[in-house]
Structure 1
Amino acid sequence: MNATERECLELQLLEMEMLFSMFPNKEEIVLEDTSSVLRVQRYLEGICESLPPRLDFSLYLKTEASSIKLQMHVSLPHNYPKAEPQLFVRSSALDRQQQNILNKSLESYIMSLDRGELCITNAAQWLQDNISSYVQSAKPSEEAESCVDEITDTFHRMWIYSHHIYRQELRKKILDCAKRLNLTGFCLTGKPGVICIEGLKGQCEEFWRDIRYPNWKHISCKHTDSKQVTGNLDAVRLFNSFEELQFAAHGDYGLRNDYHMDLGQFFEYLKQRKSEHIFQILFGIEGKS
């Protein structure tokens, strides 16, 4: 552990202490991994040698003036506050366009702050001070409300193939990114690796941009489906959530655990979801149970 890494993690723990004191109720701050803070502490104390997971949590905020409720999802890179935190805000008081504008404004605000300074408490305060300006105060007319019902979204599904998916950090990034963007589907770990995501097209494309980074070779999007949907997207989803899949493996080749997934089990999984045709698209061969 170098000095910069230690300094960043120590500052993150300091900020978590401040946040817990500012938001003392359990429902106000929720850790995705309840042991994550303790694991960072043990790592800094030298009790645990492996690098701890990121600190990922959600802050549930409420403005006093307008009683608007917000959820701010926070993901802290190991080198935060030297690097920017990943923040994403949701609220039932905002439509999709308002939410996008708010998140872009929050991003600009964070970028305006000095790097190296803790900023999650600042972000929470900024949201509480500014959220009302992003909510339309005027009640829409009946005509406008009827138009809302006619709005269509582009539903998108992507089938992604990788030579393998092993590393715990990468697997966590895939799960976290899918959850943040409200995508459903799965990630098949091992060799080969397969990812399916479905949801709004823009969010699928954001997921694809986020997980593709220079060091990940042999990854490609093999197939996509898109359709215009009016109303609830859940009606056209194949999956109810985003999950990680692991099937029985064949072989164990040394330290890398270079094992091959049982593709027969994977074919059955696709068949249950009426997607067996994807097997040949992914692997170039017909699937068999």
Structure 2
Amino acid sequence: MKQITKWLSVVAILAMTCAVSQAANIVVKGSDTMVILAQKWAETYMQKHSDAKIQVAGGGSGVGFAALQQQTVDIANASRKIKATEIETCIKTFGKRPTEYKVALDGLSVYVNAVNSIKELSIDQLAGVFTGKIKNWKELGGADAPIMVYSRENSSGTYEFFKENVLKGRDFAANAQPMQGTAALLQSVAKDKNAIGYGGAAYGAGAKHLAIKKDDSSAAIEPTEETIVSGKYPIWRYLFVYVNPTLDKGQIAHYLNWIRSDEGQSVVKNVGYFPLPKNLRE
């Protein structure tokens, strides 16, 4: 009888250990723009919380939202706001609207090859380039050479943000080359002297970013922390995480609070994005 009691006690302890382990396992998926930041958050948090196990994957904001709807992830990273149709699907699936947290600021930079003589463009000129209306660099004061447009895949939140806010909903040029991730896009721009592309501010190595003008009469603005946080730079955005409210407790809630703390926001700055002002961290 004592042996049975002892065995049951061992089973109970193992079950409790398993439950704690499962509770501490956080699965994160979504924005490729945010994947390096999310990995660094996870790494830093796990170093300080040995019971936490955080798995991070990219794939694009749309992929993250789909996984949230299918309840295969705990947290969806997104470089754009959730769509009404995605909210509706979440409500149908788990009965609630996902909770949205702003977690960082980003300036969407426009990149050209380092040898390109162009230093600035307006929003209208960018729209002309990326929709295919402007096809040659000489139309913008540059060399007589065809413009090679690099974009993101259509599951990307960065793609959708750029299309909505720069192209004003118009389609990208038919010959735009879709790239899987900002890092891959920048590698292509760095190798192609006639290239142009766009991506998060943290991915600038290997290419040159342009100063951007809101319109022809405005000053060209560089994407810096001051201009992005103040909203002076024309192409800025929030970066988000979304979570099923039912799961927003325990280890997951602690992790999300930590991301928005001073410590979590210092990771944002170290990676190359811009911390949220404190009044937006609630």
**Quick check: TM above 0.5?**
no
Q: Normalised by the shorter chain, which TM-score bucket?
A: under 0.3
Higher RCO structure, 1 or 2 (CA under 8 Å, sep 6+): 2
